[in-house]
């Protein structure tokens, strides 16, 4: 496949309480690798959970994924030290990958949740957005995107829940929700 580069990399945010944020990011990744772009997906908080995409990406070229976290839902505020540590590791990797500029699209999945839980400082992410190489596209997902993140983004989509099967007692389905 011919290697391509984006002339201008933008900053996209998929937020809101409705389903589809992570799926949208993976859909974008699929389109991008079809055009020879290189995509790096870094997942905050999700490490240790079993998602279908972890198996699918093994089959795809130019797509890397690394998940951080401990396989449990975080609710505590202030957060636990080990959760802060793995979010920091995820952000350090994001910084390294973005600054190197070797990957055309860097997806920071659930980073908005890490920001809301105060695992990562908003200013650190704002700085990263401002310092990114011109050609690198960043995609930030997760509900409750902080206003500072929305401000520095070029594209913001809010998935708004109108209906979700969970509400009528249908549990998460393998292959659809995970």
Q: Which of 22, 62, 86, 112 binds Mg ion (CB under 5 A)?
A: 22
**CA dihedral defined by 164, 169, 173, 176, rounded to 10 degrees?**
-10
167 touches 143 (CB < 8 A): no
> Tokens for 75?
């609710």
CB atoms within 10 A of CB 34: 11
Site for ligand ATP in 25-84 (CB under 6 A): none
Which partner in ligand ATP, Mg ion, none is near 132 (CB below 5 to 8 A by kind)? none
For ligand ATP, which is the closer residue by CB, 61 or 172? Answer: 172
| Cβ 32 to Mg ion shortest distance, Å | 18
Q: Which of 143, 152, 156, 158 binds ligand ATP (CB under 6 A)?
A: 143
| Cβ 130 to ligand ATP shortest distance, Å | 26
82 touches 46 (CB < 8 A): no
Q: What angle do CA 87, 148, 49 make, to 5 degrees?
A: 30
Q: At what angle do helices 122-131 and 81-100 cross, to 10 degrees?
A: 10
Q: How many residues bind ligand ATP (CB under 6 A)?
A: 15
Q: Which of 89, 148, 158, 177 binds ligand ATP (CB under 6 A)?
A: 177
For ligand ATP, which is the closer residue by CB, 148 or 177? Answer: 177
| 154 contributes a contact to ligand ATP by CB under 6 A | no
The residue ranges that bind Mg ion (CB under 5 A) are 21-22
């Amino acid at each position: 496949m011919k290697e391509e580069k984006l002339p201008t990399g933008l900053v996209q945010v998929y937020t809101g309480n409705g389903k589809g944020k992570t799926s949208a990011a993976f859909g974008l990744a699929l389109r991008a690798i079809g055009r020879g772009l290189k995509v790096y997906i870094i997942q905050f908080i999700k490490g240790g959970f079993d998602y279908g995409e972890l198996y699918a990406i093994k089959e795809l070229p130019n797509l890397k994924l690394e998940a951080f976290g401990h396989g449990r839902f975080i609710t505590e505020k202030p957060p636990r030290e080990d959760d802060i540590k793995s979010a920091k590791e995820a952000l350090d990797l994001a910084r390294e990958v973005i600054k190197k500029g070797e990957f055309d699209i860097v997806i920071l999945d659930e980073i908005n949740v890490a920001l809301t839980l105060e695992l990562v400082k908003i200013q650190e992410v704002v700085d990263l957005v401002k310092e990114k190489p011109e050609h690198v596209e960043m995609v930030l997902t997760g509900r409750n995107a902080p206003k500072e993140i929305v401000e520095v983004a070029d594209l913001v989509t809010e998935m708004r829940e109108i209906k979700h099967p969970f509400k009528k007692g249908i549990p998460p389905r393998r292959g659809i929700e995970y």
